[in-house]
């Protein structure tokens, strides 16, 4: 018998589990706000050099003043002297004045009609400093990666609930501190620490869920994250100042911290660390909440240990990341999955964090990008179930990459077509994420499954870190980032063809071997 049987014994998916799912889902609604927050807090507005002689030309119309002060279409330089000849219909330029420009020594003037304040306008992250915007997002994603490594180990040592409670508090405190950051460097530090807390929340959600309902609960959590993208668009529209927006999406985590004390520590973890008596009390409490008091009262330490025997035996066998490359077949699977995870996350955040590129109302495009996840995930579930994992994974990635590459050829004037192609690509990447999460768990043998999932998560985080940095290449060759964003999923989609199919197959316990016509789990 296993712990899954024990959960069924004390009520299965009862009132306790339903209440836990609801309480755990509420923070997930706000997590998209932090992941995609810089679409709004770091939005770029139209800007031009601040005019150092404007005080002496107050009689001029503002547009005329701008015409004689800044070259047309120029954002990073201004004329050294006013070019008055530009006000004359048939005026000609003085021979020595046309090229007399200088950098924006006095700062910039920004269009604040949409965003009253952003980190761009706050710290002048434009022109030579515009790459710092992408650096800030990459540092946040680096925090997510570090958090996954650090909090994964700490949750095994101190418990799931303790780490979850701490991460709620850290998310609230660091997010709030970000809204009061006095400098860009301090802002990046607090955003990094916010990212580390994000991973700790993701790691601990399904410990009390019966096996038969884990897929449903996992899908529900995924849709909560998708719904959070709608929520972010609404909040950002209502709160156009970046500091207040940062504060608004951070304060709810203090509420999550307070009620997290009601959440119950994982009985599985307590038995593993030798706290069997405490685990028994928690299981009996869960049984009472689920209306199974009599079944809970029948439990004792010996019965608990008999249920947990399989988990306790497996916990004594230690496996490392080197087991993922020990045999040729598992090495092939690991290499393919690493590429798939990296490319999916890389292209996903390359699209999702560049909403202003499509010249559409940023709030509308955020809603559309969130909405496409619903049908995309539904279609992927159907094809995964009735066609196969390998087909779904490969097709989703190839279509996503082709959509991104095709968008390079679409003229900027055709905004609707460009937006439709981007939305289709983003939907395919959402379907890819949905598939690869299930596929990875089915491909790795039981003895190294968690190690493999940890490596996959690391590769996804590396993809999300790299995505913003690639945008910097666009300063030299504007279409190059989109060539890279499109090529990566196409190549990884072709690589996915070499993975074994797992539809209607038992999970492999020790490894895979090549049969006459197909792969066989062993």
Cα maximum dimension of the chain: 98
Are residues 336 and 304 located together in one domain of the fold? no
Q: 502 and 518 in contact (C-beta within 8 Å)?
A: no
Average pLDDT over residues 416-431: 91
348: in domain: yes
Average pLDDT over residues 230-252: 92
Q: What is the DSSP string of 69-95?
A: HS-TT-SSEEESS--GGGGSTT----T
Given a cut of 70, whether residue 321 has pLDDT beyond it is: no
- Using only the alpha carbons of the chain, give its radius of gyration: 27
pLDDT at 472: 82
pLDDT class of 504 with cuts at 50, 70, 90: confident
Are residues 275 and 407 located together in one domain of the fold? no
Question: What torsion, rounded to 10 degrees, do the Cα atoms 363, 364, 370, 374 define?
Answer: 160
Are residues 409 and 286 located together in one domain of the fold? no
284: in domain: yes
Number of Cβ within a 10 Å radius of residue 148:
22
Angstrom distance (rounded) from CA 256 to CA 161: 12
Are residues 431 and 377 located together in one domain of the fold? yes
Given a cut of 70, whether residue 34 has pLDDT beyond it is: yes
> Which ranges of 36-69 does DSSP label H, i.e. alpha helix?
38-41, 62-69
Given a cut of 70, whether residue 513 has pLDDT beyond it is: no
470: in domain: yes
Given a cut of 70, whether residue 305 has pLDDT beyond it is: no
Average pLDDT over residues 341-353: 91
- In tens, the pLDDT along 350-402 reads 888 888 777 788 898 989 988 898 899 889 888 888 888 899 999 999 999 99
pLDDT at 83: 73
Given a cut of 60, whether residue 313 has pLDDT beyond it is: no
Are residues 437 and 335 located together in one domain of the fold? yes
| Count of CA atoms in the C-beta half-sphere (13 A) of 417 | 9
Given a cut of 90, whether residue 429 has pLDDT beyond it is: yes
pLDDT at 1: 47
Are residues 307 and 434 located together in one domain of the fold? no
Parent domain of 361: 321-521
Structure tokens that stand for 284 in this block: 């009996």
Are residues 506 and 363 located together in one domain of the fold? yes
Given a cut of 80, whether residue 296 has pLDDT beyond it is: no
Are residues 424 and 500 located together in one domain of the fold? yes
CA 316 to chain centre: 33
Given a cut of 60, whether residue 332 has pLDDT beyond it is: yes
The total domain count for the chain is: 3
Q: What is the CATH number of the domain that holds 360?
A: 1.20.1250.20
Average pLDDT taken over every residue of the chain: 82
**DSSP category for residue 446:** G
Which of 292, 314, 336 lies at the terminal end of a domain, its last residue?
Answer: 314
222: in domain: no
pLDDT at 239: 92
- In tens, the pLDDT along 41-68 reads 998 888 888 876 554 555 667 777 877 7
18: in domain: no
Given a cut of 90, whether residue 291 has pLDDT beyond it is: no
Are residues 290 and 420 located together in one domain of the fold? no
Q: What is the DSSP string of 344-394?
A: HHHHHHHHHT-GGGG-S-HHHHHHHHHHTHHHHHHHHHHHHHHT-HHHHHH
498: in domain: yes
Average pLDDT over residues 124-131: 86
- In tens, the pLDDT along 66-115 reads 777 788 878 888 887 777 777 776 655 555 555 678 888 888 888 888 88
Are residues 290 and 332 located together in one domain of the fold? no
Which of 285, 314, 343 lies at the terminal end of a domain, its last residue?
Answer: 314
Are residues 295 and 424 located together in one domain of the fold? no
Please report, in angstroms and rounded to a whole number, the separation of the first and last CA atoms in the chain.
22
Contacts of 155 (CB under 8 A, 6+ apart): 162, 163, 200, 203, 204
pLDDT at 279: 78
Are residues 454 and 398 located together in one domain of the fold? yes
Quick one: which of 132, 234, 227 has its CA closest to 187?
A: 132
Q: 489 and 395 in contact (C-beta within 8 Å)?
A: no
Which of 295, 314, 333 lies at the terminal end of a domain, its last residue?
Answer: 314
Angstrom distance (rounded) from CA 452 to CA 447: 10
> Which ranges of 471-502 does DSSP label H, i.e. alpha helix?
480-495
Angstrom distance (rounded) from CA 318 to CA 274: 18
pTM: 0.84
198: in domain: no
- In tens, the pLDDT along 168-181 reads 999 999 999 999 99
Q: Which range, 78-82, 412-416, 442-446, is most confident?
A: 412-416
> Which ranges of 88-130 does DSSP label H, i.e. alpha helix?
119-123
Of 476 and 313, more confident: 476
pLDDT class of 308 with cuts at 50, 70, 90: low
Instruction: Using a pLDDT cut of 90, give the percent of the chain over it.
Output: 24
> Which ranges of 130-210 does DSSP label H, i.e. alpha helix?
131-158, 160-179, 184-203
194: in domain: no
């Amino acid at each position: 018998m296993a712990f899954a049987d024990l959960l069924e014994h004390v009520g299965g998916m009862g009132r306790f589990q339903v209440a836990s799912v609801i309480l755990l889902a509420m923070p997930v609604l706000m997590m998209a706000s932090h992941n995609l927050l810089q679409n709004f807090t770091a939005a770029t507005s139209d800007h031009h050099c601040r005019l150092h002689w404007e005080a002496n030309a107050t009689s001029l119309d503002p547009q005329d003043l701008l015409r004689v002060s800044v070259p047309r279409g120029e954002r990073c330089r201004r004329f050294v002297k006013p070019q008055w000849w530009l006000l004359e219909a048939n005026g000609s330029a003085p021979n020595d004045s046309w090229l007399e420009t200088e950098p924006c020594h006095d700062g910039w003037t920004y269009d604040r009609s949409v965003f009253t304040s952003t980190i761009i306008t706050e710290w002048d992250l434009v022109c030579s400093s515009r790459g710092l915007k992408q650096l800030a997002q990459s540092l946040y994603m680096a925090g997510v990666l570090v958090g996954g490594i650090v909090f994964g180990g700490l949750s095994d040592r101190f418990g799931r609930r303790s780490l979850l409670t701490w991460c709620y508090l850290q998310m609230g405190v660091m997010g709030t501190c970000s809204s009061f950051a006095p400098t860009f460097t301090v802002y990046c530090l607090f955003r990094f620490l916010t990212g580390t807390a994000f991973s700790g929340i993701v790691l601990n959600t399904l410990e009390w869920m019966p096996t038969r309902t884990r897929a449903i609960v996992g899908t529900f959590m995924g849709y909560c994250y998708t719904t959070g993208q709608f929520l972010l668009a609404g909040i950002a529209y209502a709160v156009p100042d970046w500091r207040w927006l940062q504060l608004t999406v951070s304060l709810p985590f203090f509420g999550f911290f307070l009620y997290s004390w009601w959440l119950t520590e994982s009985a599985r973890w307590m038995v593993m660390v030798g706290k069997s008596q405490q685990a028994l009390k928690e299981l009996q409490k869960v049984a009472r909440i689920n209306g199974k008091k009599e079944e809970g009262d029948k439990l004792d330490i010996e019965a608990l240990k008999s249920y947990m025997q399989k988990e306790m035996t497996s916990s004594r066998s230690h496996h490392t990341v080197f087991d993922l490359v020990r045999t040729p077949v598992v090495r092939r699977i690991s290499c393919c999955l690493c590429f798939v995870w990296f490319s999916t996350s890389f292209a996903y955040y390359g699209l999702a964090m560049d909403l202003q590129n499509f010249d559409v109302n940023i709030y509308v495009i955020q809603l559309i990008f969130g909405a496409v996840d619903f049908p995309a995930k539904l279609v992927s579930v159907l094809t995964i179930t009735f066609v196969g994992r390998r087909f779904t994974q490969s097709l989703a990635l190839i279509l996503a990459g082709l959509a991104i590459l095709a968008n390079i050829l679409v003229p900027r004037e055709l905004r609707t077509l460009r937006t439709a192609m981007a939305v289709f690509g983003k939907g395919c990447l959402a379907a890819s994420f949905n598939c690869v999460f299930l596929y990875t768990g089915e491909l790795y043998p039981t003895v190294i499954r968690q190690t493999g999932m940890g490596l996959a998560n690391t590769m996804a985080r590396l993809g999300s870190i790299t995505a913003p940095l690639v945008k910097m290449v666009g300063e030299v060759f504007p279409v190059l980032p989109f060539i890279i964003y499109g090529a990566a999923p196409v190549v990884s989609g072709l690589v996915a063809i070499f993975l074994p199919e797992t539809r209607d197959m038992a999970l492999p316990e020790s490894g895979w071997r090549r049969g006459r016509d197909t792969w066989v789990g062993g």
